[in-house]
Structure 1
Amino acid sequence: MGTWKTRGLRGSSLEDLINRSNDSYREKGLALIQKIPTPITPVSIDKESRHITLAYFDQKSTVDYIGSVQGIPVCFDAKECSSNTFPLQNIHPHQIAFMEEFEKQGGISFIILSYTHKNEIYYLPLGHLKQFWKRMEDGGRKSFTYEEVDKSWKIESHRDIFVHYLEMIQKDLIGRD
């Protein structure tokens, strides 16, 4: 099983693991992926600690990460799920629209989904996500289950790359040819 479950990384969030993986990809010259900060406007700042104590989001964010893998534009969102059911309300219509537009420009869009209670991480191609989304729009379930996720898209770790999603991008590209 993957090394990301080792004692030293227990409690690390999915974003932390992805950020470490992205650092390794960059150091190896494999990819350049950046975390997109969510723009906020501070409302209240603690004068002593100079920390923001209250803020609001300036605008709808698009996705969590964007960059390039060997010249291929890539964007994705990272989601965590603590049960066997993932509510589609955790993904917003403007995010789906952005990922669709991104793919029309020749990029690859996907979700990295961590089932935290199972210690499993999956690559969910945009096409798979859109199937669940369409089902919801057609009046069906407003979620999808762990059982519905294609287990062949499981992301493993590899040495110092805790969330080694490049293998799944390769699989996604092959499936498009």
Structure 2
Amino acid sequence: MGTWNSRGLRGSTLEDMINHTNDLYREKKLALIQKIPTPITPVSIDKTSRHITLAYFDQKSTVDYIGAIQGVPVCFDAKECAADTFPLQNVHPHQVAFMREFEEQGGIAFLIIYFSQRDELYYLPFFHLDAYWERMQQGGRKSFTYEEMDKTWRIKSHRDILVHYLEPLSRDLGEREDDFS
């Protein structure tokens, strides 16, 4: 696994950082989040070692992570973005549909976006993603920009918790409760 340093996520992947965070959340009994393996279809298998030597990715996966946090069902996807513009083609229609249905069932869906050039992580609540998605569906931009991101949703590290997304998730839950009161 990569190491964390003051210069950010360099030398490690976003997925490694989230997996490490999820392990700590589980150890501290804060959350139980599972990484969903990307479905593949084997094409060729080495008969002696029984290892897959050729495969292709199935298109229909849901999201990267799913689980429960303090009794709240959550699902999210992790995305890296090298530029200040996030192309919505990086999120597949079936993922948006799954996240929408997940929310309709009372769960919380979101994206964790890493703007690698800026070394900044953001929690993107589903309702923000859905607004960008609907704009695109109506013929608008097929992306959203770093400037459009609400900077108050920035994810910070906290001691050994590298991608401390429970803080913005707590805010997301609080704002939803305020909407219903």
Same fold (TM over 0.5): yes
Residues in 2 aligned to 1:147 and 1:49: alpha-carbon distance in whole angstroms = 51
List alignment gaps of at least 5 residues for structure 2: none
Residues 60-110 of structure 1, C-alpha deviations (whole Å, 9 max, x = no match): 000000000000000000000000001000101111110011011110000
List alignment gaps of at least 5 residues for structure 1: none
Q: Which amino acid aligns with 1:65?
A: Y
Q: Partner of 2:41 in structure 1?
A: 41
Residues in 1 aligned to 2:104 and 2:166: alpha-carbon distance in whole angstroms = 21
Residues in 2 aligned to 1:108 and 1:44: alpha-carbon distance in whole angstroms = 39
Compute the displacement of 1:7 (Å).
6.6
Residues in 2 aligned to 1:35 and 1:140: alpha-carbon distance in whole angstroms = 33
Residues in 2 aligned to 1:163 and 1:108: alpha-carbon distance in whole angstroms = 17
Are the equivalent residues in 2 in contact too, given 1:5–1:119 (CA < 8 A)? no
Q: Partner of 1:169 in structure 2?
A: 169
Correspondence 1:12-31 to 2 at 5 A: 12-31=12-31
Residues in 1 aligned to 2:115 and 2:46: alpha-carbon distance in whole angstroms = 36
Kindly indicate whether structure 1 or structure 2 has the higher relative contact order, using CA contacts under 8 Å at least 6 residues apart.
1
Secondary structure of 1:17's partner?
Answer: helix
Q: Specify whether residues 134 and 7 from structure 1 end up closer, same or farther in structure 2 by C-alpha distance, changes over 3 A only.
A: closer
Q: Partner of 2:72 in structure 1?
A: 72
Q: Specify whether residues 101 and 54 from structure 1 end up closer, same or farther in structure 2 by C-alpha distance, changes over 3 A only.
A: same
Sequence identity of aligned pairs in percent?
A: 72
Compute the displacement of 1:57 (Å).
2.8
Residues in 2 aligned to 1:105 and 1:4: alpha-carbon distance in whole angstroms = 36
Secondary structure of 1:26's partner?
Answer: helix
Q: What RMSD, in angstroms, separates the aligned Cα atoms of the two structures?
A: 1.9
Q: Which amino acid aligns with 1:57?
A: F
Q: Which TM-score applies when normalising by structure 2?
A: 0.90
Secondary structure of 2:169's partner?
Answer: helix
What is the count of residue pairs matched by the alignment? 175
Compute the displacement of 1:58 (Å).
3.8
Compute the displacement of 1:44 (Å).
2.0
Residues 1:91 and 2:73 aligned together: no
Correspondence 1:53-132 to 2 at 5 A: 53-58=53-58, 60-132=60-132
